A and B are shown apart, each in its own frame.
Chain A
Amino acid sequence: MGVVRIVELPRIEGHLDVEIEILGEDIRVRAMAREGIRIYDMILRGREYSEVPDIVSRMCGVCSVIHRVTSVMAIESALGITPSDDILALRELATIGGHVQSHLIHLFYFILPDVLGIDSFIRLIDKNPGLIKKVMRIKGLANSIIEALSGRAVHPITTVNAETSFLPSRDKVYRILDELKATKNITLDISKIFLEAEFPDIPKEENFVSLASRDSINLLTGKISTTSGVMEPQAFLERINAIVEEYSTAPHFLFDGKAYMVGSLSRLNNNYPLLNGSARDLAKEFNLTFPSNSIFMNNKAQALEIVYFLERAEEILGRLLEKDELKLQSEKKHGNNFGLAATEAPRGLLIHTYQLENGKIISANIITPTAQNLKNIEKNASEYVRALLNNNFDLGEIRKQIEFLVRSYDPCISCAARFRKSNNLGKKLYK
């Protein structure tokens, strides 16, 4: 039937073309990252380690908090520094702010138009201004958490660490706490839009990878949970490999030679028993079961996470406020100059590694969630095209559905792009 090329897929972060090729029985979908490289692992070489967080945060304007925090944690591990529990709690708070604003942008600005059959969220300014204001209020709240801890919502200025005596004033914290309490029902209301929406059910996802958790859904520390068991991040790194595709400026990753999925859905599939509070009640109310094998459920998983994360923020803040003083001293042992941190970005597992020598970076590697999802996107989109063809959908309709499917992964191409196809940087970075 031919080739359909979706040029610069609208309503995602960054530039991605999607090509659907249908040649009889042979169906291929290509996820072609078009973004030019901006921060690549080589630009970090030769830098003082202290310069790294400010640079890597610029990988992505939507998830700058987690890039910053992850780089700091990886460098701390290279230097033999173990941050105190209070520091980790404060970083988790900032991270939660980042995740909630990212999920809100994805669900409302990117996905909602698919649900409502409109082209843009801003059409709601006339149709449903009340909803827009609710979303903006919660997004503003999420950003205010980041600002309180890190000075700015986009490209945070600081990361809570042992050297920074800077802590949010109690006043600010109480204001955030009050707003968290005052907006509870609004958060539930807006999340329900996605929980009750009817999404296609395509049970094709199988390999879910995320941090493994024990007490709460881990965002910053822990082992990695995969379909082949739980393992140390280093062991995971040894089992993934990056493929350089001619058509993409982002690498495509495989685990044990197979495509896999990272993101909200993986987090909930792997840690569902830990989802508690109102998010748990909502899942029951809407008959949602995890694990789920349908990628469209990633949207519902994000909606549940918004509720879960904001309640978790309230809990952490309450706990910290009860203390007379926070312990901000970290423990320092002798580091071996190699540092690794595996965290959960809004869009899934994120790994930073750095090798230092005399305080300078001699090599760096950043593995982003979207790069890990690209092969999976291609695989599942191909199968979805086949299913749609079997049900006699026309090309126009197929195109719409594939856009919706790709968007449901919440791809972020600014982060994922690592090289230009015209040079051999890709080959150098990923042999």
Chain B
Amino acid sequence: MHKLKVGIYSLSSCEGCIVQILNLEERLLEVLNHVDLVECRVLGLKHDDEVDVAFVEGFVSSDEEATKIKEIRGRSRILIALGDCAYSGMRFVAKDFGTSTIRADPINMYVNVDYHLRGCPIDSEEFLSLISDLIHGKKFKESSKTVCSECILLENKCLLDKGFLCLGPITRGGCNAICIANNKGCFGCRGLGDDVNISAFIESLKSKGISIPSYLLGLLKGPGYGSSQNS
């Protein structure tokens, strides 16, 4: 069987999503048994030709990078955006909703994105399940649950009940509520879940006496560039 040709690219990013992939260690070797990694600057691999799958981390911060993402799209069959940088221009991490002072464009402002792996960094397990779907020629489906519903299944003690802020109720799951498992409220790095109700969430924070961070009010109007995009 033809091995998938894979390229990994980065625009303006912290390269943490790539590091997350490298951190798979032996499981990465397993993946490399099944796919052919042909392009990746940090690993010294250069290809400049067609690939089956392009993984792109980072956002577009210049015309140069806009050209680069279009060029990559032009020679890849499937394009996958890695992390919150690529998904929203890092707005869900920086909480910089509305008009930003710097150019930080999500990549789907320029090209069609087949799949998003959200989060900052991406989740390793989710990455592996996407790879497995691609190898088997299946469509990948991201979690439709919120962080909150994953958290409840894990029977964590709810932080909201303890008076701490947690964005789990409005945030898209897929990370297994990892922050709450580490005793910290979710800060929403995976972006909004489907059909979440931010006003109702604000009301419930009020009723619990938790102070409302100002960015939540900004988010009511939508996150800005990264808002309604979803592939």
Q: Do the two chains belong together in a single complex?
A: yes
Mask, B1-38, CB within 8 Å of A = 1, is: 00000000011111111111011011001001000010
The verdict on A42 contacting chain B, using a C-beta distance below 8 Å, is yes
Q: A121-B44, A165-B183 are in contact. Are A14 and B15 (CB under 8 A)?
A: yes
Contacts of B44 in A (CB 8 A): 10-11, 110, 113, 119-121
Would you give the 0/1 interface string for A355-369, flagging 1 where the beta carbon is closer than 8 Å to chain B?
000000000000000
Task: Check if B12 sits within 8 Å of A36, measured CB to CB.
Answer: yes
> Which A-chain residue is minimally distant from B61 (CB atoms)?
A36
Chain B min CB distance to A137 (Å)? 8
Q: Nearest A residue to B181 by beta-carbon distance?
A: A151
Q: Does B104 contact A (CB under 8 A)?
A: yes
In the complex, the answer to whether A36 meets B95 with C-beta atoms within 8 Å is no
B41/A8 in contact, CB under 8 A: yes
Min CB gap B54→A, angstroms: 16
- Residues on the A chain within 8 Å of B181, using CB: 151
Question: CB of B42 within 8 A of chain A?
Answer: yes
B85 at the interface (CB under 8 A from A): yes
In this complex, how many residues of chain A approach chain B with their Cβ under 8 Å: the count is: 60
Out of A8, A34, A61, name the residue touching B14 (CB < 8 Å): A61
B223 to A: closest C-beta gap in Å: 16
CA distance A42 to B179 in the complex (A): 27
| Residues of chain A with a CB closer than 8 A to B182's CB | 150-152, 157-158, 166
User: B184–A158 contact, CB under 8 A?
Assistant: yes
Provide the B58-70 mask, 1 if CB < 8 A to any CB of A, else 0.
0111101100000
- A35 contacts the other chain (Cβ, under 8 Å)? yes
Contact partner of A158 among B32, B62, B102, B183, CB < 8 A? B183
- Are A61 and B29 in contact (CB-based, < 8 A)? no
Given A11-B42, A60-B16, A113-B44: A37 in contact with B121 (beta carbons within 8 A)? no
Quick one: which of B11, B26, B59, B187 contacts A54, CB cutoff 8 A? B187
Among residues 198 to 231 in chain B, which have CB atoms less than 8 Å away from a CB atom of chain A? 213
Q: Are B16 and A154 in contact (CB under 8 A)?
A: yes
Asked if A62 is at the interface (CB within 8 A of a chain B CB), the reply is yes
Query: Which B residues lie within 8 Å of A113 (CB)?
Result: 44
Give chain A interface residues in 86-114, CB to chain B under 8 Å.
101, 105, 109-110, 113
CB distance from B41 to the nearest CB of A (A): 5
Verify A38–B104 contact, CB threshold 8 A.
yes
Complex contact B19–A136 (CB within 8 A): no
Please name all residues of chain A whose beta carbon is closer than 8 Å to the beta carbon of B94 when the two chains form the complex: 39, 43, 55, 58
Of chain A, the residue at the smallest CB distance from B24 is A136
Q: Which of A1-42 contact B (CB under 8 A)?
A: 8, 10-15, 34-40, 42
Whole-angstrom distance between the Cβ of B221 and the nearest chain A Cβ:
18
The contact string, 1 if C-beta is below 8 Å from chain B, for chain A 128-143, is 0100110011011001
Q: Which residues of B contact A158 (CB under 8 A)?
A: 182-184
**Contact: A136 with B16, CB < 8 Å?**
no
Complex CA distance for A59 and B103, rounded to whole angstroms: 16
What 17 additional pairs, Cβ within 8 angstroms, besides A11-B44, A414-B15?
Answer: A15-B10, A38-B90, A40-B102, A43-B96, A48-B213, A59-B14, A61-B13, A62-B19, A64-B14, A109-B43, A113-B44, A120-B43, A132-B29, A152-B182, A158-B183, A166-B183, A420-B62
Task: List residues of chain B with CB under 8 Å of any chain A CB.
Answer: 10-20, 22-23, 25-26, 29, 32, 37, 41-46, 59-62, 64-65, 85, 90, 93-96, 101-104, 120-121, 178-179, 181-184, 187, 213
> Could you list 14 A-B pairs, sorted by A, with CB under 8 Å?
A10-B46, A36-B61, A36-B102, A48-B213, A55-B94, A58-B14, A60-B16, A125-B32, A139-B25, A140-B23, A154-B20, A155-B16, A157-B178, A422-B62
* Closest A-B pairs by Cβ, 8 of them: A61-B16, A36-B61, A36-B12, A151-B182, A136-B25, A120-B44, A61-B19, A61-B14
> Chain A: residues with CB nearer than 8 A to chain B?
8, 10-15, 34-40, 42-43, 48, 51, 54-55, 58-62, 64, 101, 105, 109-110, 113, 119-122, 125, 129, 132-133, 136-137, 139-140, 143, 150-155, 157-158, 164-166, 414, 417, 420, 422, 425
